[in-house]
């Protein structure tokens, strides 16, 4: 019987490909779950040997939290950095163990239809990390803006209460997002087939600030000072309608069509792209001024909301 089954697999390339894909997914799950933790009413994961990343709303209200790791041990975790605007928080645990952690993938390379996997404590059913739930799906879209979040990854991976703060990984096992938001029906907070994750690009840009914040000044996301923008009809790019005395590198009538190598088609994309950068960062923009293409470098100012 086994010989016949083996022969059938070899003869059917579709079945063989499906089984190979299954093995790959199982390997990603087995390697990813030990890097996750239980914290608060949600999930977190190691982003360095002793640093844990999660949603800020998961650890809001306290700086000290019990963190359950894969071995079953419960450690004391302390919040060392908070980005309340971007809903990211970083905890540090004191331990003689150097925990395995996720490497960052490039969320800018994600495309619709790409397979991704979420790991988390859905509905808080897992009492230990080893029994966390794994969900599989695809990237539905990128650069989505929802509520106070911007430039999110939209996915059809099943996300439910308790998944917040958990990793979204690609089939290489790389972290491409942090699961943060559920599009629910009738406010029942259950999965409706649409979930959102903070991109690894945002994580990469803000992680250094979280690591050295230690209760100091608030972290702000960046925006372009003193300028008002308009969408263009039947044309790509964003029109600079007016500027202020403080913004001398842009002029009314300029059209911004690229930021740091990424095309900007409308105001939502402009807002989403800028959201990925902390205040006081510099971004390189390509603009059209009249019939001439120019490049300008803009220093972002804090976005207040």
Q: What was the pLDDT predicted at 226?
A: 87
The yes-or-no verdict on residue 56 having pLDDT over 90 is: yes
Domain end position, chosen among 179, 194, 216: 216
State the pLDDT at residue 12.
Answer: 80
* pLDDT in the model for residue 18: 86
pLDDT digits (tens, 9 = 90+) for 199-256: 999 999 999 999 998 767 899 999 999 889 999 987 889 999 998 877 889 999 999 9
Nearest Cα neighbor of 44 from 194, 175, 145 is 175
| Whether 150 is catalytic | no
Same domain, 64 and 183: yes
Q: Please check whether residues 147 and 28 belong to one and the same domain.
A: yes
What's the pLDDT tens digit per position in 61-78?
A: 999 999 999 999 999 999
Q: Percent of the chain, pLDDT > 70?
A: 93
Domain count, the chain: 2
Same-domain status, 197 and 269: no
Domain CATH code at residue 178: 2.40.10.120
Q: Of 184, 216, 248, which residue is a domain's last?
A: 216
Q: What is the mean pLDDT of residues 10-27?
A: 86
Q: C-alpha angle 42/177/63, rounded to 5°?
A: 40
Active-site option among 135, 164, 180, 200 = 164
**Which CATH number characterizes residue 241's domain?**
2.30.42.10
Whether residue 14 is found in the same domain as residue 146? yes
For residue 274, the surrounding DSSP H or E stretch is helix 267-275
| Statement to judge: residues 132 and 109 lie in one domain | yes
Q: Are residues 199 and 111 in the same domain?
A: yes
pLDDT beyond 70 at 185: no
Residue 287 is predicted with a pLDDT of: 96
With residues binned 3-state (H G I as helix, E B as strand, rest as coil), the percentages for the chain, rounded to 5, are: 20, 40, 40
Residue 62's pLDDT is 96
* Whether 280 and 170 share a structural domain: no
What average pLDDT does this structure show over 122-128? 94
Q: Which of 57, 184, 192, 260 is an active site residue?
A: 57
Q: Identify whether residues 119 and 30 lie together within a single domain.
A: yes
Tell me what the pLDDT averaged over the chain comes to: 92
Kindly tell me if the per-residue pLDDT of 3 is higher than 60: no
Residues of the domain holding 258: 222-302
**Active-site residue identified among 32, 51, 83, 87:** 87
Query: 164 an active-site residue?
Result: yes
The reply to whether 57 belongs to the active site is: yes
Query: Are residues 226 and 171 both part of a single domain?
Result: no
Mean pLDDT of 280-295: 95
Domain boundary residue, one of 155, 188, 216? 216
Co-location of 239 and 194 in the same domain: no
Same domain, 236 and 102: no
The dihedral sign for the CA sequence 156, 160, 163, 164: positive
pLDDT exceeds cutoff 80 at 187: no
Same-domain pairing of 151 and 264 = no
Query: What mean pLDDT comes out for the span 117-145?
Result: 96
- Distance set, CA 103 to CA 50, 51, 89, 227 (Å): 14, 13, 17, 37
> Reduced to 3 states, what is the DSSP secondary structure of residue 24?
helix
Give the whole-number percent of the chain exceeding pLDDT 90. Answer: 79
Give 13's pLDDT tier (boundaries 50, 70, 90). confident
């Amino acid at each position: 019987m086994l010989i016949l089954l083996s022969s059938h697999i070899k003869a059917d390339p579709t079945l063989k490909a499906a089984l190979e894909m299954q093995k790959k997914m199982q390997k990603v799950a087995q390697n990813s779950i030990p890097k996750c933790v239980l914290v608060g009413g949600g999930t977190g994961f190691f982003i360095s040997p002793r640093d844990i990343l999660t949603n800020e709303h998961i650890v809001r209200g306290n700086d000290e939290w019990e963190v359950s790791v894969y071995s079953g041990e419960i450690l004391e975790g302390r919040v060392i950095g908070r980005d309340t605007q971007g809903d990211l928080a970083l905890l540090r645990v004191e331990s003689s163990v150097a925990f395995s952690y996720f490497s960052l993938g490039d969320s800018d390379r994600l495309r619709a239809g790409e397979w991704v996997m979420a790991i988390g404590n859905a509905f808080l059913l897992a009492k230990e990390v080893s029994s966390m739930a794994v969900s599989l799906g695809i990237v539905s879209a990128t650069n989505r803006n929802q509520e106070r979040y911007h430039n999110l990854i939209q996915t059809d991976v099943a996300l439910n209460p308790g998944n917040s703060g958990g990793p979204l990984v690609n089939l290489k096992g790389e972290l491409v997002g942090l699961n943060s938001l559920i599009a629910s029906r009738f406010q029942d907070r259950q999965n409706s087939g649409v979930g959102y994750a903070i991109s690894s690009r945002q994580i990469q840009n803000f992680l250094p600030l979280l690591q050295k914040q230690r209760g100091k000044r608030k972290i702000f996301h960046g925006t372009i000072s003193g300028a008002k923008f308009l969408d263009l009809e039947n044309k790509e790019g964003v029109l600079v309608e007016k500027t202020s005395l403080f913004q001398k590198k842009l002029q009314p009538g300029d059209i911004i069509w690229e930021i740091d190598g990424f095309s900007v088609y409308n105001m939502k994309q402009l807002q989403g792209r800028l959201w990925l950068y902390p205040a006081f960062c510099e971004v390189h923009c390509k603009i059209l001024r009249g019939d001439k293409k120019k490049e300008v470098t803009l220093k972002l100012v804090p976005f207040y909301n």
